[in-house]
């Protein structure tokens, strides 16, 4: 994996562990020679990931819609900042520029990015690993719900392992490195759906 798209919140939670985690993840990826592709912002966990990677000499590519640049939230110290027109173009760029996805704690936007990466993997739009860093057990409820969707039958057996989760970055990257793409929906027969 040469580059990973990192999804995370643009907010700064009161609990300082989240900002520290984001900085540590950015630095750790850079130290492994893995470039960061992210939303291009300077605020919250997003800015902390970028700053952590940059401080460790890493490559950081930000992709940000024009509307957010105009609000002056763009990080101007990146290796590269790509300005796009829409959120859809932003998410396509994340997929085009990266070899996988790592999701840190975040809110609605982070969930949108995570679920789209999973959905696109199911459909065969990419064959990259989708990782979820469950630091501080932040995503326990989400992981339980994801399992529940599979148990009920809304996530096919073939797709239950698309979402890769771990409590530490080292464990997550190890799991992502051994990822094998799932059989996609377009490869299935009608009776498999």
Q: What is the pLDDT of residues 138-174, one digit of tens each?
A: 999 999 999 999 999 999 888 899 999 999 999 999 9
Which pair of tokens denotes residue 167? Answer: 């409590």
Q: What is the DSSP string of 84-145?
A: ESSHHHHHHHHHHH-S-EEE-S--HHHHHHHHHHHHHHHHTS----EEEE-GGGTTHHHHHH
Contact 113/6 with Cβ under 8 angstroms? no
Q: Give pLDDT, residue 71.
A: 79
| Non-local CB neighbours of 88 within 8 Å, separated by 6+ positions | none
Rounded distance, CA 76 to CA 15, Å?
26
| Non-local CB neighbours of 136 within 8 Å, separated by 6+ positions | 17, 18, 21, 105
The dihedral formed by the CA atoms of 28, 104, 101 and 161, expressed in degrees to the nearest 10: 120
Which pair of tokens denotes residue 62? Answer: 């930000």
Contact 37/75 with Cβ under 8 angstroms? no
Q: Give pLDDT, residue 181.
A: 84
Q: Give pLDDT, residue 89.
A: 97
The CATH classification number of 3-192 equals 3.40.50.450
Task: DSSP letter for 41, please.
Answer: B
Q: Give pLDDT, residue 189.
A: 55
Helix, strand or coil for residue 28?
helix
CA distances from 183 to 101, 122, 125, 152, 161 (A): 19, 8, 12, 20, 11
Contact 98/4 with Cβ under 8 angstroms? yes
Among 100, 105, 101, 173, smallest CA distance to 139 is for: 105
Q: Give pLDDT, residue 158.
A: 86
Q: Give pLDDT, residue 103.
A: 98
Q: How is the chain split into domains, by residue range?
A: 3-192
Low-confidence ranges of the chain (pLDDT < 50): none
Query: pTM of the full predicted structure?
Result: 0.94
Q: Give pLDDT, residue 186.
A: 62
Rounded distance, CA 36 to CA 27, Å?
10
């Amino acid at each position: 994996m040469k580059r990973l798209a990192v999804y995370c919140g643009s907010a700064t939670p009161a609990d300082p562990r989240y900002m520290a985690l984001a900085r540590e993840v950015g630095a750790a990826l850079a130290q492994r020679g893995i470039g960061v592709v992210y939303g291009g912002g300077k605020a919250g966990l997003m800015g902390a990931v970028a700053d952590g990677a940059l401080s460790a000499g890493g490559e950081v590519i930000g992709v940000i819609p024009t509307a957010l640049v105009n609000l002056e939230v763009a990080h101007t110290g990146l290796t590269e900042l790509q300005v796009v027109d829409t959120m859809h173009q932003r998410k396509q760029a994340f997929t085009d520029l990266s070899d996988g996805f790592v999701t840190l704690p975040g809110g609605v936007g982070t969930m949108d990015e995570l679920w789209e990466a999973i959905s696109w993997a199911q459909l065969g739009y990419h064959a990259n690993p989708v990782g979820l860093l469950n630091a501080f057990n932040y995503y326990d409820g989400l992981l339980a719900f994801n399992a529940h969707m599979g148990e009920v039958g809304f996530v096919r057996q073939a797709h239950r392992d698309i979402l890769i989760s771990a409590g530490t970055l080292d464990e997550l990257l190890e799991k992502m490195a051994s990822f094998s793409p799932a059989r996609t929906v377009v490869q299935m027969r009608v009776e498999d759906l």
